[in-house]
Structure 1
Amino acid sequence: MRTVLQGGLVIDTAPEVTVRREVDVLIEDGRIAAIGPGLATEGSEVIDARGRIVLPGFVDTHRHVWQTALRGIAVDGDLGMYFERVLAGAGMRFRPEDVAAGNLVGALECLDGGITTVQDYSHVQGSAEHADAAVQALEQSGIRAVFGYGPSPLGGGAVDGAGLRRLLDRASDRIGFAVAAIGPAYAPLETVRADWALADELGLPVVVHVSSSELAPTPIALLREAGLTRANTLYVHGNSLPDAELKLIAESGASVSVTPLVEARLGLGPAIAGRLRAAGAPVSLGIDTVASAAGDMFSVMREILSLGHDTFTAAEVLQLATIAGARALNLPDIGSLAIGNQADLVLLRATDLNLAGGLQDPVATIVTSAHPGNVETVLVGGTVVKRNGHLTTTPLPDALAALATSTAHLLAG
C-alpha cells in the first residue's frame, strides 16, 4: 500500500535536524520510501499536508501507563506521598480491568499528543491477568510499545521469570518487552543478579530506576563490580547520583531516561540532563506518571529547554524527544525519517494560533509553543491512528467510561 503525505513542511531529526519545505513523504508497506516533491502517483492514498508540519513521532522512554486513572493525586507532594497514595494506596486495589482501562486511555493519550512509542514500566503485576490486560490494551490502542514487566518496589522481589516468558508469545512488530527490575537502590544484590540473569537469558533489555540510597550509595559502581553493567540497560532518573556514577553509565554504553517534570515535582534532586550530557551519557525523555505531572511530550521538552541555551538548543531538545528515545530503547528504525524506517509520523497544524508566525524557525516553534491540540494526524507503522484530530483505533467514549468506572473504584478506599 502506498500513502503520500503531500506538500508539508518536513522536519527530520538525524543525523542533524533539517527542515524541508513543500515536499512529500512516500510510505510503502508501512515504511518511509522517499521524501521529495511530486511523489503522489495514481492509486496512492494522499493525505494533504499543506499547512502542516510533518515530523517523527515522539518516543517516551519511561511511563507508568497503568496509573492513568490516578491523574493528579500526587501533584502536591514528594516521593513519599507518591509511594503512599499511588503504590501503597490505590495501586494495591488495581484489578485487571483497572489496568486495562488505564493502559488503554494512557496509550491513547500518548497517540493523541504525538507520542508514537512508549516504554511502559508496568509494576502492577498482581496476577497473570493484570499483565495480559496491560499488553492487550497497548495492542488495542495502536501504539508502539516496549512493555517493561516487573514487580512493585514495595515487595522488593525479583521479576517473575515464568510470567515474563509467558508474555513473550505476544511480541510483535509493535510490542516488545523488557525486564523492569527494581534494581540496586531498592533490592539486595542477589535479587539484582537474578533480574539481570533473566534479561541475559531472554535477550531483553533492563529498565531500572536508579538513585543513591542507603542500600546502594553508588549503585552503578556496585553493578560494575558485580559484572552487571550492560549497554542494553535503560536507567531512569539518577538525579542523586554523583558525577562519577554518571561517567560509569557513559562508559557502559547505557542510556538514561530523564523525566524532568516528575523529578522536579517529587523532589528527586536537581535537574540531571545537563550533567548527563557533560558525562557523555546518552539522554532521552520520559513522562513518568500523570499522577504527578502532565502527560505530553511538549511539556517535557519545554522543561528541558528551560535549563538554558548553554545546555540544549531547541533542535537538540527535539532530538531528545525522538531519535534519542529510539536509540535508548534500541529501536533503530524509528525516531527519524530515514528511508526504510517505520512510518511513525506526526502532523501538526502550522496554521493554529499558537503556532502562527513560527515557520521561520519551525523547530524552535514546536519546542516552545506546540501542544497536543495542534496534533492533527498520527501514523504508526504507516497506519493512521489519529486523523483530522480524531483517534481512530478504538471508540473513545467507551474507553473513557471504563476509566471513569475504574477511577471511582480505585479512589473509593
Structure 2
Amino acid sequence: MGTERHHSPRLLLRGGLVIDTAPHPVVHPHTDVLIEEGRIAAVGRGLPGDETDTGLEVIDARGLIVLPGFVDAHRHLWQAVLRSAAVDESLDSYLGRILGDLSGRFTPADVYTGNLLGALECLDSGVTTVQDFSHVQYTPEHSAAAVEALEEAGIRAVFGYGYPVFDDTARRADWVREVRARYFPSRDALLTMALAPVGPSFAPPETVREDWLLARELGLPIAVHVTAGPVAMQPITALQEQGLLTTGTLYVHGNSLPDSELRLIAESGGAVAITPAIEASMRFGAPMAGRLRRAGIPTGLGADAVTSAPGDMFSQMRAALMSSHFDGDGNGDGEAGTATVKAADVLRMATAEGAEALGLGGEIGSLGIGKRADLVLLRADALNLAPVAHDPIGAVVTAAHPGNIDTVLVDGRAVKREGRLVYGELGSVLDTAHRSAERLAASAS
C-alpha cells in the first residue's frame, strides 16, 4: 500500500452525534461507538474507557456527526482520468466517444491510475464501499491493473468484471475464471467480485445465457445495465423467459422500464442502483427513486461516471431527493411538496440499502453490533452545516459536502484523519493521472 494506515485494535469514538440507518435513520446525540478488531462492538452513552486504557485509542467525537460510510452502488472507477470529459454530451455521444473511442485507448497503466485515483476520491468523500463496474477488461493485464489499484487504495469494493461494450473479442470466460481464482479466493474479504455483462437490453439471448451461467458457475453476483433496449424492450421479462432471474442481481438505471418490469425485479429478490445526476443530465427518463420505493425494491445510489457528474455521494443524495420532489411520486403526475421520498430515505439508499443492493447488508451500511466499522465523521460546526439541531439527517443530505469530512474508517482503519487522506504518495498519483489524461486526450484529437 502507499503507506501504512492507522489501525488500532480498539477504538472509542466519544460523544458524537451518531446517526444510524437501520432499520431506519435515527439520531443519537452524545453517543459513543466502540470498535474492536475492525467491527462495531458497542454503541451507547458513557461506554467505559479512556486514554489510560492500554490498547484503546479515544477520538473525541464531540462536535462531529458519526454515520455509516457511504456505499456507491454503481461507478466506473477507470473513468476518473477522464473527469469532466463529457459534461455536455448526450448518452449517444458518451457511448461513442468515451466507451467506443477512448476506452479502447486505455493501457493497463491508465486503468490502474484511473482506478486508484477514483478509489482515493471515494475515500476522501466518505465512500467506504464501491461497486466498480469495470467494463474496460480488454486483456488480463487490464484486469490485474484494476484490481491491484483497488487493493492499493484500501477501499472496500465489489469489482464488477465487465466486458468492453464495443469489443466482443474481449469477452473471454477463461479470463474471468483467471481473475476469480487469482484475486478473489475468499468471499469474506475487503474486495469481492461480481460479473458485469452487457446484458439483455443490448446482447443477444444466447450471449446473455452464457454470461449468466458463467456467473452461476463461479458463484458471482451480477450487475447489469437495464433499459428498454435495442435487443430487449423488456429486459427483465427476457431474463425470466430464459429462467435467469436470480436473487441478488443488481440492475442499474431502468428509467425506461414499465412497472411490470419493476415488479419482476421485486419478486425475484433483485435490487436497483440509480445514478440520479447522470440520469438527469443524459436524459435517461423519469426519476426512479419514488417508483422503486413503491415497488419495495432495495435501492442504492451511485455516481456512475465522473466524465459527466460529481463523484461524491452528497451530490448524489441531493440529486435523488430533489429529482424525486419534481413530480411528487416519481411518475410525472404528482404535485410539488407531496413527494414520498424523504431525506431519510435517501440517506438509507446511500448506506444501508446500498449495502443490501450489493449483497453486503449483513456486514456494512449501518451501525449494528458486529458490523464492519466503516464510518464517516463530519464536522458539525462547519459554516455550511451548523446548526444541525433541527434535522441532522436533513443537514447531512442537503447541506454537507466532502470538505466537512474529518475522519473516514474502513474496517476500523483510518483512511482519512483530520480532513486529510492517510496516503503518502497522493502527489505522485495526481501527477500520473495528469499524464494519463493528457496522453488520452492527445490520442483522441
TM-score by length of 1: 0.98
In structure 1, the residue matched to 2:334 is none
Q: How far 1:214 sits from its partner (Å)?
A: 2.4
In structure 2, the residue matched to 1:319 is 348
Matched residue count: 413
Aligned partners of 1:235 and 1:255 also within 8 Å: yes
Q: How far 1:157 sits from its partner (Å)?
A: 6.5
- Match among 365, 370, 382 for residue 352 of structure 1: 382
In structure 2, the residue matched to 1:211 is 227
Question: Residues of 2 paired with 1:157 and 1:228: CA distance?
Answer: 24
Residues 158/70 of structure 1: CA separation in 2 closer, same or farther (3 Å cut) = closer
Aligned partners of 2:139 and 2:170 also within 8 Å: no
Question: Residues of 2 paired with 1:329 and 1:394: CA distance?
Answer: 30
Structure 1 segments unaligned to the other structure (5+ residues): none
In structure 1, the residue matched to 2:6 is none
Question: Residues of 1 paired with 2:402 and 2:164: CA distance?
Answer: 31
Query: Which sits farther off after the overlay, 332-341 or 211-220?
Result: 211-220
1:69 aligned onto 2:81:
yes
Amino acid at match of 1:397: G
Aligned partners of 1:220 and 1:248 also within 8 Å: yes
Question: Residues of 2 paired with 1:122 and 1:115: CA distance?
Answer: 17
Question: Residues of 2 paired with 1:390 and 1:231: CA distance?
Answer: 39
Question: Residues of 2 paired with 1:319 and 1:281: CA distance?
Answer: 13
1:195 aligned onto 2:211:
yes
In structure 1, the residue matched to 2:268 is 252
Aligned partners of 1:10 and 1:20 also within 8 Å: yes
Aligned partners of 2:138 and 2:164 also within 8 Å: no
Secondary structure, counterpart of 2:104 in structure 1: helix
1:163 aligned onto 2:171:
no
Q: How far 1:358 sits from its partner (Å)?
A: 1.7
Amino acid at match of 2:20: D
In structure 1, the residue matched to 2:120 is 108
Question: Residues of 1 paired with 2:111 and 2:418: CA distance?
Answer: 29
In structure 2, the residue matched to 1:10 is 18
Question: Residues of 1 paired with 2:151 and 2:225: CA distance?
Answer: 25
The within-5 A match list for 1:7-406 is: 7-36=15-44, 37-41=46-50, 42-43=53-54, 44-156=56-168, 159-168=171-180, 169-171=182-184, 173-306=189-322, 307-308=324-325, 310-331=339-360, 332-406=362-436
Structure 2 segments unaligned to the other structure (5+ residues): 1-8, 326-337
Secondary structure, counterpart of 1:357 in structure 2: coil
Q: How far 1:60 sits from its partner (Å)?
A: 0.4
Q: How far 1:310 sits from its partner (Å)?
A: 2.1
Q: How far 1:167 sits from its partner (Å)?
A: 1.8
Secondary structure, counterpart of 1:75 in structure 2: coil
Aligned partners of 1:159 and 1:179 also within 8 Å: no
Question: Residues of 1 paired with 2:171 and 2:63: CA distance?
Answer: 48
Aligned partners of 1:158 and 1:191 also within 8 Å: no
Amino acid at match of 2:183: R
Query: Which sits farther off after the overlay, 244-253 or 391-400?
Result: 391-400
Aligned partners of 2:225 and 2:253 also within 8 Å: yes
Amino acid at match of 2:192: G
Secondary structure, counterpart of 2:442 in structure 1: coil
Q: How far 1:223 sits from its partner (Å)?
A: 0.5
Q: How far 1:16 sits from its partner (Å)?
A: 1.8
Q: How far 1:277 sits from its partner (Å)?
A: 1.9
User: Deviation string for 1:288-340 (max 9, x for gaps)?
Assistant: 00001000100110111112252211111100100001100001210000000
User: Deviation string for 1:356-396 (max 9, x for gaps)?
Assistant: 11233110100010001011100000011001111113421
Question: Residues of 1 paired with 2:118 and 2:315: CA distance?
Answer: 16
Q: How far 1:161 sits from its partner (Å)?
A: 2.2
Aligned partners of 1:6 and 1:50 also within 8 Å: yes
Q: How far 1:276 sits from its partner (Å)?
A: 1.9
